[in-house]
Structure 1
């Protein structure tokens, strides 16, 4: 990489790291990573819906960040919710137009606790 050019994935990870580090400590909040792909034939319909809604999540979901790769119609978001059904509701609002995968995620602190538990066995 040339000097002055930074990897978007690294910037995204760095910009959210401070939020992830303590966001869920002591709270019943789950993190989710969503990936989507817009088929070329649905591009205009997705643009229209996004323009109307801003892609805002339903109540109970907070979007921490969203990134788009415009040329190939893909992207990902990191969100938090206290109820997985809220994430399912959000996905169902879009899966008529795009393919979407939603996965639970752990931050370093949460994964560290899981790994520490495995080491004790």
Structure 2
């Protein structure tokens, strides 16, 4: 399943976030796959698409970063799958 992960950064800690990433990498547990990400122009948020079949993998990952980042996690469905579900053609 796909998830939009919105990371909210404290402006004073953005450099700390990127320093940890440079030192330790994403720190995602096995089974949690990074798809892609985008950073807001004002450096206040990062939008990441992650994929996994077990939501507890997301929880483990969040715990590795929760001292620097506040997370919002939104389960995603593709537009095509949603249209099919709404039309009764799933």
TM range (shorter): 0.7 to 0.9
Question: Aligned Cα RMSD in Å?
Answer: 1.9
Tell me which residue corresponds to 1:63.
Answer: 34
Relative contact order, higher structure (CA 8 A, sep 6+):
2
TM-score w.r.t. length of structure 2? 0.82
Of Structure 1 and Structure 2, which has the larger fraction of its residues in helix?
1
Instruction: Note the alpha carbon deviations across 1:60-106, whole angstroms, 9 max, x for none.
Output: 11111011125333110111101111112112211211111011000
C-alpha distance in 2, partners of 1:98/1:104? 19
Max radius of gyration: which structure?
Answer: 1
Q: Residue 8 of structure 2 corresponds to which residue in structure 1?
A: 37
- Equivalent position of 2:66 in the other structure: 95
Query: Does residue 72 of structure 1 match 2:38?
Result: no
Gaps of 5+ in 1: 1-29
1 or 2, which has the higher strand percentage? 2
Partner Cα distance (1:91, 1:98) in 2: 8
1:104 paired with 2:75, answer yes
Question: Where do 4+ consecutive residues of structure 1 move more than 3 Å?
Answer: none
Please, which runs of 5 or more residues in structure 2 have no aligned partner?
none
